[in-house]
Amino acid sequence: MHAPPDLTGFIDLHIHTAPDSTPRLLDDFDAAREAAAAGMRGVLIKSHSTLTADRAALAQKHAGAAVEVWGGLALNDPVGGLNPAAVQCAIAFGAREIWMPTRNTRNENRRAGKGDVGLTVLDEHGAVCSAAHEVLRLIAEADLILGTGHISPAETMALIPAAREAGVKRILITHPDAPGTDFSLDQQHRLVRLGCLFERCWVFTTPVVRHMNKQIDPARILNNIRQVGWETTVLATDYGQADNLSPVEGLRAFAAACLADGFTSAQVRRMGAENPAGLVGA
């Protein structure tokens, strides 16, 4: 039996913690403590409903030098959607990532059979809307990570050139293998040429998402990494569900699967430590 992968220096840029409107396995302090115990360099905590940069600052004070804790803001209905004022506030609190809308998107509502309602980054003419342009300008000025959230692949393909034109340097495509944000390999190769990185999230391989019809074959994620490139990949978990493994265990399982699939230790370290460190500026 192989030894568990060494997570020293790894960073998970996508974990969900309590307090939250959805039950979570760990709170911010516990998540930081577990990451530190595994030798990880840091975690970025995410909420679909509220700012996490302020909570990250408290968790950082509690953790001390053992691990770094970052937060961000997802632009959903509770914060006013594509709300530049909310982004300015997040920047003032030290946010490291701004996500386009997630739970309240038109893309998700269409998939759920709710019709053409919900948040979108496009206007009625199919162009990137003025509010999204202003958000991109603020992200660029603060040199933050742009996370694409749960908008559709078509919306993302329109948004990324606008982000580059605005001067955004750090772009992370949120779970590009997941149902609803499922990018074709051709789209992913086009995004590579635009300088994007891809946040592959292991949660979609686990049974806890089966009831949401979101579970996918782990081989699909591993094949997409191989096809698009480990050089542009970020390993993340999207864990924190009350009935799932801990984020540390999930990240270790993801790294182990990569190694078993033939990726080298150096390649896994690039995906799990170096690429996320470059994005978050650590």
Does 4 map to a domain?
A: no
What per-residue confidence (pLDDT) applies to 281?
92
Residue 84 pLDDT greater than 60, yes or no: yes
- How many other CB atoms sit within 10 Å of the CB of residue 161? 11
Domain for residue 3, yes or no?
no
CB of 236 closer than 8 Å to CB of 200? yes
φ/ψ of residue 236, rounded to 5: -145, 170
Give pLDDT, residue 138: 98
Q: Does a structural domain hold residue 162? A: yes
* Residues 160-201 pLDDT 10s: 999 999 999 999 999 999 999 999 999 999 999 999 999 999
Query: Is residue 43 included in any domain, yes or no?
Result: yes
> What is the reported pLDDT for 112?
85
Query: What pTM does this model have?
Result: 0.96
Supply the pLDDT for residue 1.
Answer: 52
- Residue 210: per-residue pLDDT: 67
**Structure confidence at residue 220 (pLDDT):** 96
pLDDT band at 207 (very low <50, low <70, confident <90, very high): confident
How many domains does the chain contain in total? 1
The CATH number that applies at residue 132 is 3.20.20.140
**Average pLDDT value for the chain:** 96
Residue 6 lies in a domain: no
pLDDT at 74: 98
Q: What is the pLDDT of residues 21-64, one digit of tens each?
A: 999 999 999 999 999 999 999 999 999 999 999 999 999 999 99
Supply the pLDDT for residue 111.
86
Residue 19 counted as domain residue: yes
Q: Does residue 2 sit within a domain?
A: no
Query: Is the predicted pLDDT of residue 211 greater than 70, yes or no?
Result: no
Structure tokens, 140:
């660029």
Whether 205 maps to a domain, the answer reads: yes
pLDDT (average), residues 249-259: 98
Kindly tell me if the per-residue pLDDT of 96 is higher than 90. Answer: yes
The string of pLDDT tens digits covering residues 104-152 is 999 999 988 899 999 999 999 999 999 999 999 999 999 999 999 999 9
Domain, as residue range, for 119 = 11-280
